Structure 1
Amino acid sequence: MARKIAFINYKGGVGKTSLIVNVAASLAKLGRRVLLCDFDTQSNASIWLLKLDRWNALNATGAGAVYSLFSPGHCHLRDLVIPDVVENKTGEKILPGLALVPTTFNLVDLESEYTGAPDRPAYLIFQEQLAALEADYDFILFDCPPNILRASQCGIFAANEIYVPANPDALSLIGFTLLVEKLGRFHQLSAGFRTARMGPPAQVEGIIFNAIKTGSDIEVPRLRMQLRLNQFRAAKRAGRHAALFTSVVRDAMIVRRAVALGLPVVLLAPEHTDPAADNVVNDYQRVAAELLHHPLA
């Protein structure tokens, strides 16, 4: 069965999308079957992987994007999956194994205009449809915005693991703390909809320091984050094996160039001799490897 993982922090601007896109691509390069579900209304992961022309076609109508699950004439999640989503300039598929459930700006309507039945919350509808796809993948990743509103709830309810992208600053620590508090409330709210097959609610399993600026001293922030994680783990509010990842991702201009080209960084590296590019590719690959071997309950 697929490992289902949500990436979320209550602090925005931590590089969450660059982390999830490139970790997903690294896992696919290792031969894993990966499905990335974009639940962030900014649509950054979808725009990155589809490139603007393909994403604009989706955004023009909203048809084929994740909000279609909850709008009139409900479609099935399986119909939204774009297999082998990454293409080169000629439309050739160049990263087998990485699939995408895209989003567009209309996902914001899930928060403001959705009027589903109280006994059929959006996260339950999504989970039921996802269950039919789980056997097709090794990893299902959820890119969640910095909140636990309806869109994030879909990913968090379906997930079995949560990883927190963070920067080495006080705001990331505050965001992590707030996330754990909000998770507890959501798990209480959604408890009546969980089934034994789904397993227990997802807890934080790891924190990943991301977009580290050159010359930054991260030791004190790491110690503070580790202390807070230890407190949550002792209180059973984080996973039993929850850890601050030893792998970190350095900041590099190549990440921003990859976004412009619509390619994960791991597909750009052979074209460059810039050591910083090689460094950040290695960083993402180490995070993916640490994720693969992270012990679970």
Structure 2
Amino acid sequence: MAQVIAIANQKGGVGKTTTAVNLAASLAVLKKRVLLIDMDPQGNATMGSGIQKNDLIYSVTDVLLGEAPIENAIMGSEVGYKVLAANRELSGIELRIAEQDGREFILKNVLKNVEQSFDIILIDCAPSLSLITINAMAAVNGVIIPMQCEYYALEGLADLTQTIDRIKQAVNPNLEIMGVVRTMYDARSALTRDVSDELKRYFGTKLYDTVIPRNIRLAEAPAHGLPVIYFEKSSKGAVAYLKLAAEIIKKIK
């Protein structure tokens, strides 16, 4: 049965979708059967996987509304993993499912049909705490939090952990922070190092050893619809995400 993992942070611009896409690709390179679910209406994880979000036959919206079986909506990609894609239609779904019984567990229930087909299912969550995000959190074993080493990251820590605790109490008693990954890391910056030290004190062994550096190739890859390992496999960004994937596999075992 698959490990189901959310990639989440309430703060935008921290490398959340970049982490979801590149982690999916790196895990696939390491011979894992991976499904990436895009639960962000912006559809950036979809586009970053080389899929045009305006050309979808079925999307995650159709699956959540019960208008398409998940097996029919999952798409192959040219980058080694499968994708359950999203587009702007996802932003209008909340009013349509808000009155349903068990509305928080729709994704969890449909994933039961495909869990045996994958080793790891990654869910790219929207930064807002919406019913869509709660659906994702209800379905997962754990959360990976990408975090930029800047002052405001520390400011939002308490809010983030409180949110996860509330969701744990309300819909998913098994929900845990699986790990925290430092993104856009600049080792030359004293602030980066100070924030990194603070994260070590706060999260302890849940802070991954691997850091994701600021990297031009990592920033350029989404414009080409490719994870960085397929865009420039020798780049520092590609090497870092491959190392992170290996670290996650080791911890899951």
- TM-score using structure 2 length: 0.92
Residue 280 (structure 1) shift: 1.6
Q: Does 1:76 align with 2:74?
A: no
Corresponding residue for residue 286 of structure 1? 243
1:188-231 C-alpha deviation (Å, 9 max, x unpaired): 2225xxxxxxxx4211121100112362233211221222225x
Alignment identity in percent? 27
Residue 70 of structure 1 contacts residue 114 of structure 1 at CA under 8 Å; is this kept in 2?
A: no
CA distance in 2, matches of 1:190, 1:184: 10
Considering only aligned residues, what root-mean-square deviation do their CA atoms show, in Å? 1.9
- Matches of 1:35 and 1:82 in 2, distance apart? 9
- Structure 2's unaligned 5+ residue stretches are none
Mark the CA change 1:163 to 1:115 in structure 2 (over 3 Å): closer, same or farther: closer
Q: Structure 1: any 5+ residue segments left out of the alignment?
A: 87-94, 192-199, 231-241, 271-276
Cα distance in 2 for partners of 1:227, 1:214 equals 18
Shift of 1:268: 2.0
- Residues paired across the two proteins, number: 252
Task: Identify the range of structure 1 (211-220 vs 279-288) with the bigger mean alpha-carbon deviation.
Answer: 211-220
Output the CA distance in 2 between the equivalents of 1:279 and 1:189. 40
Distance (Å, rounded) in 2 between the aligned partners of 1:278 and 1:290: 19
* 8 A Cα contact 2:22 2:228, kept in partner: yes
1:118 is displaced (CA, Å) by 4.4
CA contact (8 A) 1:10 1:176 kept: no
The partner residue of 2:157 within 176, 185, 188 is 176
The runs of at least 4 aligned residues of structure 1 exceeding 6 Å deviation read: none
CA contact (8 A) 1:163 1:208 kept: yes
Show the counterpart of 1:66: 60
Q: Counterpart of 1:221?
A: 195
SS of the residue corresponding to residue 248 of structure 1 reads strand
Aligned with 2:185: secondary structure? Answer: coil
Task: Identify which of 94, 119, 125 aligns with 2:101.
Answer: 119
What secondary structure is seen at the aligned counterpart in 2 of 1:79? Answer: helix
Provide the residue aligned with 2:132 in structure 1.
151
Identify the match of residue 222 of structure 2 among 259, 262, 265.
259
Paired with 1:4 and 1:181, the residues of 2 have a C-alpha distance of 21
Tell me which of 90, 97, 109 is aligned to 1:107: 90
> C-alpha separation between the residues in 2 aligned to 1:294 and 1:141?
16
Amino acid in structure 1 at the alignment position of 2:155: I
Q: Alpha-carbon deviation of 1:116?
A: 4.3
Residue in 2 that maps onto 1:204: 177
Do the aligned residues in 2 keep the contact of 1:21 with 1:45 (CA within 8 Å)? yes
AA aligned to 1:282 is V
Q: Work out the CA distance in 1 between the residues paired with 2:165 and 2:100.
A: 20
- The amino acid across from 2:55 in the alignment is A
Quick check: 1:48 aligned with 2:48?
A: yes
CA distance change for structure 1 residues 175 and 110 in 2, over 3 Å: closer, same or farther?
farther
Which has the higher mean CA deviation after the structures are superposed, 8-17 or 175-184? Answer: 175-184
Alignment partners' CA distance in 2, 1:115 and 1:17: 25
